[in-house]
Chain A
């Protein structure tokens, strides 16, 4: 099992540029989550999907952030335009619904630096 796959692992960009982060969840999982991790704010949930449908995007900080899940095996998080305060590690996680488990399987993260 390949696990949750994120790309790129590292991204350095300049303020104002568009950033696209990608995620491939574990096959068969029906929930997908995007988290942001910073020293100041810890792990913050940005948005999550169930069966490709966005369920809660209340954690998305601004309109500059958008996320899509066009199919069960792919999701993107886009920041346009990027700002230095967006610098963080962005994690994608997937899980399988049900009362037996709620375990989140995290990817390795995408470290974003906005100069």
Chain B
């Protein structure tokens, strides 16, 4: 089955700095790579996703890059703000089938 590894497990940055979280996956058939943000006491919520036919996608301060050859994808957050503090999960799946999640990264943005 699919295996997703996520690094780092914790990340602390100063407000305004950039944050990068990296994931690798094992199943070459995976074609959908979402990123979820989970705030305390809530369920994960999608913030950005990318499909295997695209190498990069950007939405305001967040971007995701995908390297299919290396089976590697990353989340980039620029100009971080305190409200970006949360747990971030990467995942891999085939279309609407089951998603395999990484272990999560706890991001802390210090004011």
Contacts and interface: CB of A to CB of B under 8 A. Distances in A.
Interface residues of A, number: 23
A56 B98 contact: yes
Given A91-B43, A109-B43, A102 B101 contact: no
A45 B32 CA distance: 17
Interface stretch (B18-26, B64-72, B89-97): B89-97
Given A42-B104, A43-B89, A102 B43 contact: no
Contact of A107 (B43, B46, B100): B43
Interface in B22-51: 32, 34, 36, 41-46, 49
Interface in B61-108: 89, 93, 95-104
Contacts of A107: 43
A93 B42 CA distance: 12
B32 to A, nearest CB: 4
A102 B36 CA distance: 12
A106 B44 contact: yes
B42 A102 contact: no
A31 to B, nearest CB: 6
Nearest to A29: B96
B11 to A, nearest CB: 16
Interface of A: 4, 31, 33, 42-43, 45, 48, 56, 91, 93, 95-99, 101-104, 106-109
27 contacts: A4-B43, A31-B96, A33-B98, A42-B102, A42-B104, A43-B44, A43-B89, A43-B101, A43-B104, A45-B98, A91-B44, A93-B43, A95-B96, A96-B96, A97-B95, A101-B96, A102-B34, A102-B49, A102-B93, A102-B96, A103-B46, A104-B34, A104-B36, A104-B99, A106-B43, A107-B43, A108-B43
